[in-house]
Structure 1
Amino acid sequence: MSTYWCRRAWLPDGVAENVRIDLDGTVIRSVRADEKPSGTILSGMVVPGFANAHSHAFHRALRGRTTDDRGSFWTWRERMYAVAGKLEPESYYRLARAVYAEMVLAGYTSVAEFHYLHHPARAGRYDAANAFSYALVAAASDAGIRLTLLDTCYVAGGFGKPTEGVQRRFDDGDAEAWAVRFGSFRPVGDLVRVGAAIHSVRAVPAEQIPIVVEAVGDRPLHVHLSEQPRENEECRNHTGHTPTELLSAAGALTPNTVAVHATHLTDGDIAALSGCWACLCPSTEADLADGIGPARRLAEAGARLCLGSDGQTIIDPWFEARALELHERLGSGQRGRFDVAELLRAGTAHAASGWSEVGALAPGQGADLVHITTESVRTAGASGPGMLYAATASDVSDVMVAGRWVVRDGAHETVPDVARVLDREIGALWS
């Protein structure tokens, strides 16, 4: 057993002082406030590990390289495809390892990777059908982060259209072939779990969606939903329904479903998502000019909220959490749409990706701890839960995942010089 004494810690019922946390291996054994110092002293504030519920790791290669793009989501997508066309399992491992290390440095302790890059660039198949998936598992393991690999079904280039160009790297042919490959993927490790994703209703024909639902069973099922108005318009023109209505009719809306973005929804759509998860990605939604999603209305309708870094424009869970509230303020003209407890709950919603035993500093929970300094120029003067509005990824000094310190004194323990690795791997993709 190991003991940590925290000057401040964010417990399920709020921020407490002088908190003793006892760990038994990978699990929190006990938590008690108003204790005298003992064990290892953590002098700042300790919060639960953050959950990144939606990630495309390779999009990190676009950060700082699309700033002059005056187009739309759809023109940005062509830049993203250019990167996707160059990756191979070995190079993706190196890039993803550094991206996941950057996430841990920021305070994330789990990531749900929405993974659709499956096949070689020049048609055909790899000898190992899930070569990319295993590369991502190895990258996450080496970076010390919990991974939910969401194997994504992507078999159409739009409504009634075949895949073309780089999209063929995503395409198994049909959902049945996808299900065969998905069923053959069996990673090993205590920090990896498997789920599935429907890329979108434009990429999986309605009649094939039930095949994905059956294959995933009771595991997490994620889907890009109504991210862009054009997606909704095309869906209505081709099917007479909204994307949410198509998913509902196919049995794809369950308590294990995570609707990613969920930006442009009707009142009926919002009601249909009651009991599901809704994953907002504020930094990416702003970067791509997607719009401001109805987060407050979704929560009031019974949807559970979670957050993701998506396109890696920013890797900072503190930003994503407060941006959930800030975007609501911009859209509504009102402050206080979410209180800080709701924001932290959305930011630490590991259950959305299949880690229901992680996300709180409480007995029986997984031992994921994030320690931040309370004396930086950003955090100085902030008090208690207000730290969520003050801290950034730069204030994270130590991160524990499953009882093991992965970040100490601001440095990653197993991936030295993360910035140098990112610079090298991203530069190679653009050369």
Structure 2
Amino acid sequence: MRLWFEAALLPEGWRDHVRVTVADGLIVQVLPDTLPAPDDERHGPAIPGLANLHSHAFQRGIAGLTERAGSGSDSFWTWREAMYRFVDRLDPEGLRAIAALAYVEMLESGFTRVGEFHYLHHDRDGQRYADRAAMSCVIAEAARESGIALTLLPVFYAHAGFGGTPPTQGQRRFVHDLDGYATLLEAAGKVIADLEGAVLGVAPHSLRAVLPEELSQITALLLQGPVHIHIAEQMAEVDDCLAWSGQRPVEWLFDHASVDRRWCLVHATHVTPEELGRIADRQAVVGLCPITEANLGDGIFPARAFLNKGGRIGVGSDSNVEIDAAAELRLLEYGQRLQHRGRNLLAGGPGQSTGGSLFRAVQGGGAQASGQQPHGLAVGAPADIVAFRPDHSVLVERREDAILDSWIFAGGKALVDSVWRHGRRRVSEGRHLARPAIEARYRRTLGAYLD
């Protein structure tokens, strides 16, 4: 297969008139400054697909349903109780239906890989399924059906709070002991073994859900692959960690775990300058989810300070209240503008493009955190490509990084025309080719849950 693009973002930068040859799902040749041949499939400007490094796919089912004020102060914690009530209704087929549509929407927005932080493991009464990886299996099937690449991150969740507080009734579908988690991890590896490009990682849910000795044993179960953890998302979490240990969450983690470039610290919203420096020095990735963090009232991560220290970032859709790669990047920058009362704060320097700098940062950080190597529009990498609509008014006379600026700050996912994952076209004219059947199943499933 030969694809010809008006322009394409290659590892060395933007080039015009680029022919990309694909064989067995991989890029085997990239030729810039090349006139299209009669049998080339012609498209507008193209960029590499992005990794969505943090998703709870099932939460797409409650998008928009938690926006009524409660009798007291609403927060992440009150939202969590509403989410737990929805979890009580889910069965494997329901999870598959919701996840498949979420993954379709990710592809339509420019994400070509998802890091599924997967903690819904057990039956509705909290009992283990006969197949310990039953719920992991339906996540893999949803990825297979949609075509998105999967980084599966089975979550270890054992406690409700710091120091081993017993889990609540609402958490009964999540909890494991160490032996049960080891069994799950082994089974999950088998589930994704034949799923093209799939990666297995480990995910201690958070410091409040994992004891210190459990954390060290969990991370030792997988000597390669990503390690993801929620950390310092809420000030209440920081305060509780101080009360338990005398240290802040990130501070405690770095003093008690061998954090390195395999690690992704999800959110890390409430951190000190010293903690930012330690994260950057260890080359760990901070996984930012700006839309969810805004929706839940988490706060704003100090992205400008972190990037100035050489820090690495990626983005994720987390609760999936909205799925749009460009919108995540836009809100990441806008949060900094609102906080610091300036503009183009993540551009990286005078004359630099904000969209270009953001995209390159999250492309590299997302690939690292999701275990995706190699990546980008380069020979040997999977053909994970996003092409924009060449005739869209937002792209009139745009060249090079102005294309990214216009996508992120003006056009959003409406600019996405075609998406290929591992050389197979999954999105055409902005719509996933399997959307009608997947959406119809989602409608039936969600209608039954919410009736």
Give the match's secondary structure for 1:68: coil
CA distance in 2, matches of 1:384, 1:215: 44
The percent identity for this pair of structures is 35
Deviations 1:110-168 (A, max 9, x none): 00000001111113211001100011001101110100110001000112411111201
Residue 352 (structure 2) aligns with: none
Residue 421 (structure 2) aligns with: 401
Deviation at 1:418, TM superposition (A): 4.6
CA distance in 2, matches of 1:169, 1:289: 26
Deviation at 1:277, TM superposition (A): 0.6
Residue 285 (structure 2) aligns with: 277
The alignment status of 1:169 with 2:173, answered yes or no, reads yes
Deviation at 1:312, TM superposition (A): 0.8
Residue 155 (structure 1) aligns with: 158
Deviations 1:243-269 (A, max 9, x none): 112222332512100001110002232
CA distance in 2, matches of 1:126, 1:46: 44
Question: 2:107·2:148 contact (CA, 8 Å) conserved in 1?
Answer: yes
Deviations 1:65-96 (A, max 9, x none): 12223611111111111111111112111211
Q: Normalising by structure 1, what TM-score?
A: 0.94
CA distance in 1, matches of 2:62, 2:258: 31
Residue 116 (structure 2) aligns with: 113
Question: 1:370·1:399 contact (CA, 8 Å) conserved in 2?
Answer: yes
**Residue type of the alignment partner of 2:269:** T
Residue 361 (structure 2) aligns with: 346
Alignment CA distance shift 1:66-1:105 (3 Å): same
The alignment status of 1:372 with 2:388, answered yes or no, reads yes
CA distance in 2, matches of 1:248, 1:309: 26
Give the match's secondary structure for 1:233: helix
**Residue type of the alignment partner of 1:3:** R
Aligned residue pairs total 428
Residue 386 (structure 1) aligns with: 402
Deviation at 1:389, TM superposition (A): 3.2
Deviation at 1:408, TM superposition (A): 2.0
**Residue type of the alignment partner of 1:395:** L
Residue 31 (structure 2) aligns with: 32
Residue 425 (structure 1) aligns with: 445
Residue 122 (structure 1) aligns with: 125
Residue 270 (structure 2) aligns with: 264
Question: 1:227·1:261 contact (CA, 8 Å) conserved in 2?
Answer: yes
CA distance in 2, matches of 1:319, 1:381: 22
**Residue type of the alignment partner of 1:282:** P
CA distance in 1, matches of 2:236, 2:285: 23
- Indicate the RMSD between aligned Cα atoms, in angstroms: 1.8
Deviations 1:339-398 (A, max 9, x none): 33331123423231111212x112222111111114334444544322323331122121
The alignment status of 1:11 with 2:10, answered yes or no, reads yes
Residue 88 (structure 1) aligns with: 91
Structure 1, 65-74 or 156-165: larger mean CA deviation:
65-74
Give the match's secondary structure for 1:184: helix
Question: 1:145·1:191 contact (CA, 8 Å) conserved in 2?
Answer: no
Give the match's secondary structure for 2:247: coil
**Residue type of the alignment partner of 1:398:** S
Instruction: State how 1:42-61 maps to structure 2 within 5 Å.
Output: 42-61=42-61
Deviation at 1:176, TM superposition (A): 4.0
CA distance in 1, matches of 2:359, 2:441: 31
Structure 1, 421-430 or 391-400: larger mean CA deviation:
421-430
**Residue type of the alignment partner of 1:32:** L
The alignment status of 1:67 with 2:87, answered yes or no, reads no
CA distance in 2, matches of 1:311, 1:396: 22
Moved over 4 A (4+): none
Structure 1, 33-42 or 2-11: larger mean CA deviation:
33-42
Give the match's secondary structure for 2:242: helix
Structure 1, 389-398 or 56-65: larger mean CA deviation:
389-398
Determine which of 170, 193, 198 is the counterpart of 2:199: 193
List runs of 5+ in structure 2 lacking aligned partners: 348-354
CA distance in 2, matches of 1:261, 1:242: 14
Deviation at 1:400, TM superposition (A): 0.5
Question: 1:9·1:15 contact (CA, 8 Å) conserved in 2?
Answer: yes
**Residue type of the alignment partner of 1:426:** L
CA distance in 2, matches of 1:65, 1:286: 16
The alignment status of 1:236 with 2:226, answered yes or no, reads no
Alignment CA distance shift 1:378-1:289 (3 Å): farther
Determine which of 351, 354, 374 is the counterpart of 1:357: 374
Give the match's secondary structure for 1:215: coil
Deviations 1:155-214 (A, max 9, x none): 001124111112011001x33432232233222222322111111111112231101111
Deviation at 1:411, TM superposition (A): 3.0
**Residue type of the alignment partner of 2:341:** G
CA distance in 1, matches of 2:332, 2:12: 21
CA distance in 2, matches of 1:343, 1:320: 10
Alignment CA distance shift 1:77-1:45 (3 Å): same
Alignment CA distance shift 1:62-1:378 (3 Å): farther
CA distance in 1, matches of 2:254, 2:302: 19
Question: 1:225·1:261 contact (CA, 8 Å) conserved in 2?
Answer: yes
Give the match's secondary structure for 1:416: helix
Structure 1, 156-165 or 408-417: larger mean CA deviation:
408-417
